[in-house]
Structure 1
Amino acid sequence: MMLKANLGVGPWSVFYIGVSTRLPLTLGRAIQVGGLFMILLALLLKTYPGIGTILHMFFMGFFIDLINPLIPEIHFLANQVAVLACGTVIFSIGSALYINADHGVGPKDSMVLGICKKTGRSIRLIYNAMEIMALSVGYFLGGPVGIGTIAVALSVGPIIQFFLKFLPEKEVRKQSILRSIFH
C-alpha cells in the first residue's frame, strides 16, 4: 500500500529498492537477501529465529514480486495520504501482532529485538535508529524518498510500541528452530 501512495516508501523499502537498482535483484529478492542477513545478525546477538522469522523472510519477498505489479498507482493527494497512513498503521499493528504471537518475528524485528536485549534500549529508539539508517543508505543507493518516507520512519516504532501495550505479555519462548534442531 505504502509503495503505491507515491509519497515516498518506508525506509526499508527505500533501502531495498536502492539495492535492487544497483544489483541484479528484484525488489522481492533484495528483501529476501536482506532478511537472511538480518537473521544472521540476530543470531550473533543470541536472538534465535522461529518458524515465523524464516517464513516472513521468504514470503515477504515472494509476495512483493507477485502482487506489486497488480496494484494501481494512486494519484490524488488526499487518497495518497490516506493510503500511506492506513498502510503505516496496518503494517505497525501487524508487526506488533507477530511480535506478540511468539512464533518468531520478522528478520528486521528479530534484529531489533536482539539489539534491544543487548543494549537495554527501547524498541522505539532502536527501531527508529534502524529505520533512519536504512533510509540514509537507501537514498544514497538511489531509492525513492518523499515526505511519506519521513513520516513512516518516525512513526512505525512508536505505533508498534503503542499497540504492544494492548496485547497480553508472553514469556519469551525458549524453543526456536535452531534450539529444536541442535538439542
Structure 2
Amino acid sequence: MRMNLKFLSVKEVPRLFWSAPKALTFRPPAISLAFLVVGLFLFGLGEALIIAGAVGLSPWTVFAEGVTKITGWDIGLASFVISVGVLICWIPLKQSPGIGTLLNAIIISLVLSFVLPHLPTFDNIFLKVSEAVFGLLVTGFGGALYLIANLGPGPRDGLMTGLQRITNLPIAWVRSGIELGVIAIGWSLGGGVGFGTVMFALGIGPSVALSMYALMQIFGRAKVPS
C-alpha cells in the first residue's frame, strides 16, 4: 500500500520531454504548446463532466456564489474578481505567468461552453457520482499535462505551485488545503456546499499528483523546472 501511495509525496511539477525551458516566452516550443492545449482541453472537459454530474458545485464556484450573496454581483463577475485576487496573490509568491495563464481562461471557457450541453445527465445517483468522479480524474490528468508543459499556470494552479514552493509540502496536500479553505470561505458567505464540492476539494490535489507521478514513471524522471 505504501508503494501505491507514493504519488501523494510528489512535491514538484516534473520536467519531461514536452516541458518548455521557461514559462514566460513569446516563442514556446511547438510540442510544449501542443501539450498545453491538449491538457487545457482535458481540464475543461473534466470540469464539464463534474458540472454535468450535478452532485455539488466546485469549491471556487461556491466561493463565487458566496460573494454574489454579499455584493449583488452576478456569478461571472464574482468569478472574475476572485481570479484577479488570486493573481495578485502570485506577487509575494513570485509566481511567473505565461501564455498558459491566458490560454487557461480562454480554452477552458470554450470547452465548457461547447461541450457541456452535449454531455449526458443522469437521475440515478450512482451514475451522477460516477460521472463526477470520472470528471475529477480527467481534470487531474489534464492539469498535469498542461502544468508539465511549463508555459504558465492558471490562477488557481499558480497559487498551488507557488504555495508548494514556499512550504515544500506535497502538491496533493497543498491543493486540498486550498480547496478546503475556499469552501469554508464560500460557505461562510452563503454559498451552497454539496457532496461533489467536498469530493472535488479532497480529490483534485491527489488526482493531479497521481497523474504527474504516472507520467514520470512512463516517461522517466528528470529535473523539475527551476
Show the 5 A alignment for 1:41-80. Answer: 41-57=89-105, 60=108, 66=113, 70=117, 74-80=122-128
In the alignment, the residues of structure 1 paired with residue 108 and residue 79 of structure 2 have an alpha-carbon distance, to the nearest angstrom, of: 7
Q: How far off its partner does 1:79 sit?
A: 2.0
Q: 2:173 maps to what in 1?
A: 125
Q: How far off its partner does 1:132 sit?
A: 0.4
Compute the TM-score of the two structures, normalised by the length of structure 2.
0.66
- Write the deviation string for residues 30-63 of structure 1: whole angstroms up to 9, x where unpaired: 3322222212211221111111113324554576
Out of 52, 71, 79, the residue aligned to residue 31 of structure 1 is: 79
1:75 match: secondary structure: coil
Of stretches 76-85 and 11-20 in structure 1, the one that deviates more from structure 2 is 11-20
In the alignment, the residues of structure 2 paired with residue 57 and residue 170 of structure 1 have an alpha-carbon distance, to the nearest angstrom, of: 28
Gap change, CA 1:165 and 1:63, over 3 Å in 2:
closer
**Gapped regions of structure 2 (runs ≥ 5):** 1-48, 217-221
Show the 5 A alignment for 1:1-183. Answer: 1-57=49-105, 60=108, 66=113, 70=117, 74-168=122-216, 169=222, 171-172=224-225
Q: How far off its partner does 1:150 sit?
A: 1.6
Write the letter of the residue equivalent to 2:169.
R
- Do the aligned residues in 2 keep the contact of 1:39 with 1:107 (CA within 8 Å)? yes
Gap change, CA 1:70 and 1:24, over 3 Å in 2:
farther
Gap change, CA 1:129 and 1:6, over 3 Å in 2:
same
Gap change, CA 1:32 and 1:153, over 3 Å in 2:
same
Seq. identity, %: 28
- Write the deviation string for residues 63-87 of structure 1: whole angstroms up to 9, x where unpaired: 65x4699468642212211211111
Write the letter of the residue equivalent to 1:172.
P
Q: How far off its partner does 1:28 sit?
A: 3.3
Gap change, CA 1:40 and 1:2, over 3 Å in 2:
same
Gap change, CA 1:96 and 1:171, over 3 Å in 2:
same
Write the letter of the residue equivalent to 2:66.
G
Gap change, CA 1:133 and 1:36, over 3 Å in 2:
same
Gap change, CA 1:39 and 1:3, over 3 Å in 2:
same
- Do the aligned residues in 1 keep the contact of 2:180 with 2:201 (CA within 8 Å)? yes
In the alignment, the residues of structure 1 paired with residue 141 and residue 69 of structure 2 have an alpha-carbon distance, to the nearest angstrom, of: 30
1:145 match: secondary structure: coil
In the alignment, the residues of structure 1 paired with residue 115 and residue 181 of structure 2 have an alpha-carbon distance, to the nearest angstrom, of: 25
Gap change, CA 1:60 and 1:32, over 3 Å in 2:
farther
